[in-house]
Amino acid sequence: MDYKYIEQLLERYWEATTTPQEETILRTFFSQDVLPEHLAQYQPLFVYEQTAATEQPLGDDFDRRMLERIGQPADEAPKKVVVKAQRLTIASRLRPLFRAAAAVAIVAVLGTAAQSAFRQTDQTNEAWDYNSASYADTYQHPEEALDALDAGLAEISDMLNSSTSADSLANNEDVQP
């Protein structure tokens, strides 16, 4: 038997170009008991509506039985979660952009401040001189410079030690009752 018309209808069905009458023809054809082998695979698709109507719907006690299976008492129904919709305003949508703009502004201000600090001029209104050849030695002998360096480092060390010991004393006083 020639099933070219049904095959053409199936092809159009997969392309979603069939009319409701043609789909009815397909349902009628696939509701037969005897179908060719190459078309039998499509039968469940077209007879589903008919078989679903004959199936028994869920009973009134379905919820109770399912709750008993999962171990929850039947009288305690699951609580519904209420989700409130949140309005999104333009300001809340643009907030990440505002934060990014603020970060860029802070970096720009700090960069400008750092540049202006390095461009400070002294009383002669000349820019700072970074040329090492123009610096004059303040000490005539290297031993004097070394002694001054040692004294400065010792003073810094004493200040750091005194602040560390003051912090540890303050912490110990807080800890002890």
pLDDT digits (tens, 9 = 90+) for 82-135: 888 888 899 889 999 999 999 999 999 999 988 887 776 544 455 565 677 776
Place of tokens 């037969």: 32
Place of tokens 């949508």: 93
Q: Contact at 8 Å (CB) between 128 and 118? A: yes
- Pick the last residue of a domain from 72, 103, 122: 122
- The boundaries of the domain holding residue 14 are 4-57
52 within a domain of the structure (yes/no) = yes
Q: Contact at 8 Å (CB) between 47 and 30? A: yes
38 within a domain of the structure (yes/no) = yes
Question: What is the pTM for the complete model shown?
Answer: 0.33
129 within a domain of the structure (yes/no) = no
37 within a domain of the structure (yes/no) = yes
156 within a domain of the structure (yes/no) = no
Per residue in 11-64, pLDDT (tens digit) is 999 999 999 999 999 989 998 888 888 888 998 888 887 777 777 777 778 877
What is the C-alpha separation between 139 and 149, in angstroms, rounded?
11
Compute CA distances 176 → 57, 68, 162, 173, whole Å: 74, 58, 21, 5
Report the domain count for the chain.
2
